[in-house]
Structure 1
């Protein structure tokens, strides 16, 4: 059993590109500097803001890094910025990224990581020629594209990849070195961390949100489509806060939409230099600029949250994972 790097990066530890801007320049750079693969949460279809964020990262690290995009939305301008800035990686999620698009990325020298949640999607990604597959289990935090657990999905995708040179990375509920070791045992070459990296010094998340992660456990998350319905009705996993518990049991649950015409204003935030009003059931998580009813906002987190006990620098997380998995497998 060998815990090594992936795609030319020293360690097989990937920072999930958590939106809207939690995985910002400081966190991406910190992960990259510690030998991990940092992925920026890209601004949606915004060339200028994407370039601005990428250049800020370049001021903080000379290591390779990448950016994540959601295929659910038109992100052609963001993708162009990623290519023009010559990033090492692009992570794509929530949709198909066919061969011609993978080929275009490769022409720009960009490696493609496709995050997905099913064997069928993995088959398409392999056929498209992606460089890496991130297998996401339903226990993961944030937006959830699949319906099965990581422990069921991961070995199936590893078997499907076979002897092809496509590393498989595990995502979902991995928050300590034992999860990393388990993923390696199931055939993964690395792990993608979200929740664990929110609870770091460099994460661009509101301190209130970070502190809540230390208080919740694995049976206190919810898989729901309550949030962000005005623009995108999609399942997420979040903390099952008192606010979430109350509304998930509402007889009106299916009709609740964060529509400015029908819901109260609960807060305000600045995302990628844009002022955003937050209405009840908005899908955005709180960043340091967010004000208002923080306790009534969505707080994305995976089932591994019960193993998150402290807020430390991102480099410390990578050190713990690397040293921990070596100790488990007695690798020196």
Structure 2
């Protein structure tokens, strides 16, 4: 099956399905490789990776498929320049950059033909990135796991807002709240050319997170995530003892230094790598409440595409 949009044409993929770059979960070969082979865009998350491991994963993906893949690059990470040098040397097909301005990487990657996608969470940054010359934008709404926008404006509203502001001049990828083909259909109807699926791909055998973390995603309802860490790099995570402690401190208006100490004492690695789902940061989106099965990543891609086709066919048609 193929679903052609401005994003699939830009990236050279068959389906407007992107697997979000998720630290730890897609900081591996298996998940992005499986998604790219299935016709979507697999995304290798460089954020927590040592340079040697990152290079090895890129080599394995490049040798495992001739289809496009992307590397998600948080521009604030330690050793960012060294990582950018590596990505340039490897001539990766797509870079998806976040948490920084596009001028830091844009010229050098466009010069080698890499497609440059920038992550934004509002109209102002979207227009700035578009005017800087990026090839596409990921628009992150409030439902998203990991780092949603501080405003928590919903994806439904935010994507429409950015689509109107950019007036069709740049391909958009909607992110936050998508778990199935009906969500993909909604994203395309808003003016996006693709949807970003993060939490859905956490519940796959290929996702590089602990079994306890995966079970927490499968067991969560749509109202079981919490946003904590305002002013400290807010995250959305499945509720546990860590989020309870943070919500208590925030609710009582405790000073920011005390909150910072508690916030930094927990980490995503604790949940993803060590399996500590009580005290670790189990970052996940509200769409975890729509995920109830562990499935191979390729099967997830196929199911999203077929679900999209059924949903599209079932839509009421306008009559004169």
Bin of the TM-score, shorter chain as denominator length: 0.7 to 0.9
- Contact map agreement 2:173 2:193 (CA 8 A) in 1: yes
CA distance in 1, matches of 2:168, 2:192: 13
- Contact map agreement 1:116 1:146 (CA 8 A) in 2: no
1:312 to 272, 292, 295: 295
Aligned to 2:194: 190
Structure with more helix by fraction: 2
1:141 equivalenced with 2:145 (yes/no): yes
Structure 1 unpaired stretches of 5+: 264-278
Deviations 1:21-71 (A, max 9, x none): 544210010000000111111155854332122112223322211101112
Deviations 1:262-303 (A, max 9, x none): x9xxxxxxxxxxxxxxx842243533x525x43221101111
After TM superposition, the structure 1 = structure 2 runs for residues 158-197 of structure 1, keeping only pairs within 5 Å, are 158-164=163-169, 166-197=170-201
CA distance in 1, matches of 2:247, 2:155: 25
Alpha-carbon distance, 1:145 to partner: 3.4
3-state DSSP of counterpart to 2:266: coil
CA distance in 2, matches of 1:297, 1:45: 19
CA distance in 2, matches of 1:149, 1:320: 25
CA distance in 1, matches of 2:247, 2:216: 19
Aligned to 1:272: none
1:50 to 49, 54, 57: 54
Q: Over aligned residues, Cα RMSD in angstroms? A: 2.4
1:256 equivalenced with 2:259 (yes/no): yes
3-state DSSP of counterpart to 1:142: coil
Aligned to 1:151: 156
- For these two proteins, the number of residue pairs brought into alignment is 303
1:324 to 307, 313, 316: 307
Aligned to 2:233: 234
1:4 equivalenced with 2:8 (yes/no): no
- Contact map agreement 1:117 1:135 (CA 8 A) in 2: yes
Aligned to 2:89: 84
CA gap of 1:44–1:243, structure 2 versus 1, over 3 A, is closer
1:290 to 270, 274, 287: 274
Structure 2 unpaired stretches of 5+: 315-320
CA distance in 1, matches of 2:236, 2:49: 24
1:281 to 240, 255, 266: 266
TM-score normalised by length of structure 1: 0.84
3-state DSSP of counterpart to 1:328: helix
CA gap of 1:43–1:247, structure 2 versus 1, over 3 A, is closer
1:36 equivalenced with 2:66 (yes/no): no
Aligned to 1:68: 72
Alpha-carbon distance, 1:257 to partner: 3.9
Structure with more strand by fraction: 1
CA distance in 1, matches of 2:307, 2:49: 39
